[in-house]
Amino acid sequence: MGERRQYSRAEWISAAVFFVVVMAVAASCWPNGSGSGSSSDSNNSRELPSRHRDSEPKAPSGGLAVTASRFTEWPFTVSAGVLRCEGGAVTFEPPGGPRYAVNGTAKGAGYPEITPIWADDETLGHGLKVNISEVLDKGLSLC
């Protein structure tokens, strides 16, 4: 028998992030409930993407302007955006939009996956992404 491998914190976090992404993808396969008594105006009430090109976005009502410098580990390929939480759905909108889903609740609400702007973690390799938990925690604090 071989010896048991000890997993690092980063490996556990990466596995958790992978699980969340898989669950978000699975949730996107379910019907959105528009005909099942759930609120159908939740998808229609989203704002259109902002088209301003400021380096520091202006936070709209209910949102928080965030930049890479405010976080220990910035998980995105853009340097700033607006973080929001509505009904547990955490979203991030870079300058020029669109609003991306940061968690499974937002993905289930119809927001697109964050993958296009989610940075690869070069230290972990293998296509694993930078830890997004600090941004997610900040977003959840806005709920």
- Residue 20 near residue 75, CB atoms below 8 Å: no
Give 90-109 pLDDT, tens digit per residue: 999 999 989 999 999 999 99
Residue type, position 133, single letter: S
Q: How far apart are CA 82 and CA 100, in angstroms?
A: 10
The tokens for 81 are: 């955006």
**What angle is formed at CA 114 by the lines to CA 59 and CA 73, rounded to 5 degrees?**
70
pLDDT value, residue 66: 95
DSSP 76-134: BSSSEEEEEEETTEEEEE-TT--PEESSHHHHHTTPPBSGGGBPB-TTT-TTPBPP-HH
- Residue 118 near residue 133, CB atoms below 8 Å: no
pLDDT value, residue 124: 84
**Which of the pair, 42 or 86, is modelled with greater confidence?**
86
- What pTM did the predictor assign? 0.58
Give 26-63 pLDDT, tens digit per residue: 444 444 443 334 333 334 334 434 333 334 444 556 69
Residue from 42, 60, 61, 50 nearest 108 by CA: 42
pLDDT value, residue 32: 42
Residue type, position 66, single letter: V
